[in-house]
Amino acid sequence: MTYFKFEADFVDSLRCIPMIVRLKLDTCGVKLKLAEWNRFTQTDCQQLVELPCDRDSEITTYKEYVIKLIFQHTGHEASLLSIDPQPPWSNDREIPESVSTKAAEEGVNIDRSQWANLTTIQRFALIKLTRSQHENNNFIPALKEFGILT
The answer to whether residues 25 and 73 belong to one domain is yes
- Cα 128–chain centre separation: 7
99-125 pLDDT, tens digit per residue, is 999 999 999 999 999 999 999 999 999
Distance CA 71, CA 48 (A): 15
Helix (H, G, I), strand (E, B) or coil at 9: helix
The answer to whether residues 64 and 115 belong to one domain is no
Q: What percent of the chain has pLDDT over 90?
A: 87
Backbone Cα Rg of the chain = 16
Domain coverage including residue 61 = 5-80
Residue 148: which residues within 8 A CB-CB, separation 6 or more?
108, 110, 114
The answer to whether residues 93 and 132 belong to one domain is yes
Distance CA 63, CA 143 (A): 30
For 146, which DSSP code? T
The answer to whether residues 11 and 68 belong to one domain is yes
The answer to whether residues 137 and 94 belong to one domain is yes
129-145 pLDDT, tens digit per residue, is 998 665 668 999 999 99
